[in-house]
Structure 1
């Protein structure tokens, strides 16, 4: 797996997110109150809302457009909503964040 550095844990506020632009599209990188970090595609399947601008609560994010809630762990919509977003492998090493773009590229193909 090819890991690409995208910044540091400190770049992402607690219970917040940042958007990373890649050749395969935009990725939302999220940090929970417990300092867990997740990466998912930054595009709600409902109306295309930017998930990285949503509210992080627990291990989920609420889309800022229509309040759909997505699990940061699985990418699946919660409750009565249907759909999912892709999750991207992410790791933290010595405070630095890395995503696996090769996995993202293979999923886009």
Structure 2
């Protein structure tokens, strides 16, 4: 069986993503995706969830090929979602394609990739049983 080439879905214009900033992409199922634009006009897509405590990466600071989580300043690689050492963990990344100033994403990934992940609930742990 041969893999089918991806179907691409239009998301936005590259200028709709601030330089050194982000834009969130809502999905019908699963957490939002964060699109990031660096100073070189490269665009990256990660699940909008830090692997540490689930912080919204879309609210983090973009620098080079990384984003700093706004909660605990973990550095997450924009290319692969990997946390920089000494931290460990990763967040799912998504394929992005730029054509004529437009941002496109793989339709299958938008619909199915990492839809089972959720954001951790903040606050103290409580007991389930007395």
TM-score (norm 2): 0.79
Cα separation, 2, equivalents of 1:6 and 1:108: 18
Q: Confirm or deny that 1:29 pairs with 2:29.
A: no
Q: 1:30 and 1:37 mapped to 2: Cα distance?
A: 5
Match for residue 8 of structure 2 among 3, 25, 39: 3
SS at match of 1:83: coil
Q: Structure 1: state its 5+ residue gaps.
A: none
Scaled by the length of structure 1, the TM-score of the pair is: 0.93
Q: Which has the larger radius of gyration?
A: 2
Counterpart Cα distance in 1 of 2:108 and 2:68: 27
- Note the C-alpha offset of 1:106: 4.7
Q: CA RMSD in A?
A: 1.3
Specify every segment of 5 or more residues in structure 2 that has no aligned partner in the other structure, as ranges.
1-5, 117-130
Q: Which of the two has greater strand per residue? A: 1
Give the secondary structure class of the aligned counterpart of 2:104.
strand
Count residues in correspondence.
109
2:72 maps to 1:66: yes
The reply on whether 1:86 has 2:56 as its aligned counterpart is no
